[in-house]
Amino acid sequence: MDSPISSSAPGRLGERSALSHLLMPSDVALRRVYPPAPVVAVAAAVLKDGCLLLVRRASEPGRGKWSLPGGVVRLGERLREAVVREVHEETGLTIEVVGLLDVVEVIRRDEEGRIKYHYVIVDYLARPLSGELRAATDALEARWVPLEEVRSLEITSTLRRLLDEHWDELASLAELS
């Protein structure tokens, strides 16, 4: 029987066949543009003193636009661990996850109709615990924005949709923060 991975000696990995790339998880995890499968990501709606924590994205999709801090889940990482890590990496803040807010899909096609981006994003509600706000890694800027001013910024379509669907809940929580 043919195997996609050939071995030159028992127990040793030899040359890969032309199909072996289809079976290697590391190949799948690294491709965010034109991915072979949806990419799982997380984001956090962090509220404090009536403000929402936002970052201005340094990468596509949405480069230069304001959005919730977040990013891609690493292999073996739990979703809540991923969102805490991503918020800290992008903003310097340590957060506590309060609950699940939404699960959204982002599918963007190129001019030829091919899927260029496909993300499944798990959005959480969170509150800050500690740290000093600063932009880092994938964020050009990070700042607290009064919730009623968020829509006036150049925000991602994903954040606009999230605000439209969860405005009352976020506004109520912002009053309590």
Domain boundaries of the chain, sorted by first residue: 1-30, 39-176
Q: What pLDDT, on the 0 to 100 scale, is given for residue 32?
A: 87
User: Rounded to whole angstroms, how far apart are CA atoms 36 and 115?
Assistant: 9
CATH class of residue range 39-176: alpha beta
- In the predicted model, what is the mean pLDDT of residues 146-152? 96
Catalytic residues: 141
Judging by DSSP bridges, how do beta strands 39-48 and 51-57 pair with one another? antiparallel
DSSP class of residue 22 equals G
Is the model's pLDDT at 57 over the cut of 80?
yes
Task: Name which of 171, 116, 112, 115 is nearest 146 in CA terms.
Answer: 171
pLDDT tens for each residue of 8-48: 333 333 333 444 344 444 444 458 899 999 999 999 999 99
pTM, rounded to two decimals: 0.80
